[in-house]
Amino acid sequence: MDVAVMRVVRLKGLVTPEALAGAVGAPAAEVRAALEQLVGEGHVQERNGRYRVTRDGRDALDGLLAQEREGVDETALEPLYEEFLVLNAEFKDIAHQWQIRDGEPNDHADGSYDAVVLGRVEMLHERFAPLVERIVAITPPRVGEYRRRFDAALARVSAGEHDWLLKPLIDSYHTVWFELHEDLIGLLGLSREREAAEGRAE
């Protein structure tokens, strides 16, 4: 629980217990208890009902993630990461199409245009979901929560709640995608800066 909670808090920056519970797939009461313990240990800090990882917490998390990596078969994960990167490029293109149309911000007035873009999201998910399953099979148990989070975000997008496609401050499809990307980079012992310099990370 500590690794899962601290990892999500670190990725999200400042997060409420409710949002954290949704991300880690645990009851809010259980998450609050974990947060209280982490606050007591000096690993997490509370501010106006939101939590963030402290410097000591980052150091502790880095150590826990290093231990976690020892159980990961990097040889098996590396080709899956390469497959992810192919789909990542496609998802970035979809996101661009959703936000920009003909060089201008998309005002979403054309339902037919938006429907085509959303159709691309659904088709991408059909190919992406099996890859996630393969990733989950060889990574720590906490990674399994990504399956539920992707499905939940897509369900809300399909129901017409389009903020759940790209909005950054909720568990949108893009938010979950970004966090999985971060985890894959970490599990392989890679550097986000280097991946970004090589055009393999946003």
- Give the pLDDT confidence of 165-195 residue by residue, as tens digits: 999 989 999 999 999 999 999 999 988 787 8
Question: What's the Rg (C-alpha) of the chain?
Answer: 18
pLDDT of residue 193: 80
Q: Is 161's pLDDT higher than 90? A: yes
Architecture of 2-68 per CATH? Answer: Orthogonal Bundle (1.10)
- Give the pLDDT confidence of 52-71 residue by residue, as tens digits: 999 999 999 999 999 999 99
Range 3-38 burial, b when 16+ CB lie within 10 A, else e: bbbbbbbbebeebebebbbbbbebeeeebeebbeeb
DSSP H/E element including 46: strand 44-47
Q: Which of 55, 50, 13, 59 is nearest to 32 (CA)?
A: 50
- Kindly give the pairing relationship between strand 50-53 and strand 44-47: antiparallel
CA–CA gap between residue 65 and residue 57 (Å, rounded): 12
Structure tokens at 56: 């000591």
